[in-house]
Amino acid sequence: MAVEGESDRWYAERLLTDEFTALLAAQPYGRRGADATLFEVRGGKLCVYTLGEMSSAEALDDFWERADRIATEAARAARLIIQ
Protein backbone atom coordinates (compact mmCIF):
# COMPACT_ATOMS: atom_id res chain seq x y z
CA MET A 1 0.00 0.00 0.00
CA ALA A 2 1.32 3.42 -0.91
CA VAL A 3 0.44 6.36 1.33
CA GLU A 4 1.25 9.87 0.14
CA GLY A 5 0.97 12.52 2.82
CA GLU A 6 -0.77 12.78 6.16
CA SER A 7 -4.30 13.00 4.76
CA ASP A 8 -3.78 9.73 2.87
CA ARG A 9 -2.39 8.10 6.00
CA TRP A 10 -5.42 9.20 8.02
CA TYR A 11 -7.77 7.80 5.34
CA ALA A 12 -5.83 4.53 5.10
CA GLU A 13 -6.01 4.00 8.85
CA ARG A 14 -9.80 4.33 8.72
CA LEU A 15 -10.19 2.20 5.61
CA LEU A 16 -8.03 -0.72 6.70
CA THR A 17 -10.14 -1.93 9.61
CA ASP A 18 -9.69 -5.47 10.89
CA GLU A 19 -12.87 -6.54 9.07
CA PHE A 20 -11.79 -5.00 5.76
CA THR A 21 -8.28 -6.45 6.04
CA ALA A 22 -9.81 -9.91 6.66
CA LEU A 23 -12.02 -9.44 3.56
CA LEU A 24 -8.96 -8.65 1.44
CA ALA A 25 -6.98 -11.57 2.89
CA ALA A 26 -9.82 -14.02 2.12
CA GLN A 27 -9.94 -13.15 -1.60
CA PRO A 28 -8.90 -15.62 -4.27
CA TYR A 29 -5.31 -14.94 -5.26
CA GLY A 30 -4.73 -17.22 -8.21
CA ARG A 31 -1.52 -17.76 -10.05
CA ARG A 32 0.76 -14.77 -9.43
CA GLY A 33 -2.16 -12.82 -8.02
CA ALA A 34 -4.05 -12.71 -11.30
CA ASP A 35 -7.39 -13.47 -9.62
CA ALA A 36 -7.03 -10.95 -6.81
CA THR A 37 -9.43 -8.04 -6.71
CA LEU A 38 -7.33 -4.87 -6.65
CA PHE A 39 -8.31 -1.29 -5.95
CA GLU A 40 -6.92 2.22 -5.96
CA VAL A 41 -8.24 5.48 -4.57
CA ARG A 42 -6.83 8.49 -6.38
CA GLY A 43 -8.13 12.01 -6.30
CA GLY A 44 -11.30 10.85 -4.61
CA LYS A 45 -12.07 8.25 -7.30
CA LEU A 46 -12.23 4.51 -6.58
CA CYS A 47 -11.15 1.98 -9.21
CA VAL A 48 -11.72 -1.73 -8.51
CA TYR A 49 -10.21 -4.19 -10.99
CA THR A 50 -8.57 -7.56 -11.52
CA LEU A 51 -5.73 -8.67 -13.74
CA GLY A 52 -7.41 -12.00 -14.41
CA GLU A 53 -10.14 -12.87 -16.87
CA MET A 54 -13.74 -13.61 -15.99
CA SER A 55 -14.20 -17.08 -17.47
CA SER A 56 -17.82 -17.54 -16.39
CA ALA A 57 -20.87 -15.64 -15.23
CA GLU A 58 -20.24 -17.01 -11.72
CA ALA A 59 -16.69 -15.60 -11.72
CA LEU A 60 -18.05 -12.21 -12.80
CA ASP A 61 -20.73 -12.32 -10.09
CA ASP A 62 -18.08 -13.17 -7.48
CA PHE A 63 -15.90 -10.27 -8.66
CA TRP A 64 -18.89 -7.90 -8.61
CA GLU A 65 -19.67 -8.93 -5.01
CA ARG A 66 -16.07 -8.30 -3.88
CA ALA A 67 -15.97 -4.97 -5.76
CA ASP A 68 -19.22 -3.92 -4.05
CA ARG A 69 -17.82 -4.74 -0.61
CA ILE A 70 -14.63 -2.79 -1.35
CA ALA A 71 -16.68 0.20 -2.56
CA THR A 72 -18.87 0.01 0.55
CA GLU A 73 -15.83 0.08 2.86
CA ALA A 74 -14.25 2.94 0.90
CA ALA A 75 -17.48 4.94 1.18
CA ARG A 76 -17.64 4.25 4.94
CA ALA A 77 -14.09 5.54 5.38
CA ALA A 78 -14.86 8.59 3.22
CA ARG A 79 -17.86 9.45 5.43
CA LEU A 80 -15.50 9.51 8.43
CA ILE A 81 -13.35 12.08 6.64
CA ILE A 82 -16.31 14.30 5.79
CA GLN A 83 -17.63 14.36 9.37
> Are the beta carbons of 19 and 28 closer than 8 angstroms?
no
Which of the pair, 24 or 70, is modelled with greater confidence? 70
Q: What tens digit of pLDDT does each residue of 55-71 get?
A: 889 989 988 998 998 89
Query: What pTM does this model have?
Result: 0.72
Q: Is the pLDDT of residue 2 over 70?
A: no
DSSP per residue, 13-71: HHHS-HHHHHHHHTS---GGGTT-EEEEEETTEEEEEESS---SHHHHHHHHHHHHHHH
pLDDT at 1 (0 to 100):
60
Nearest Cα to Cα of residue 72 among 15, 11, 21, 25: 15
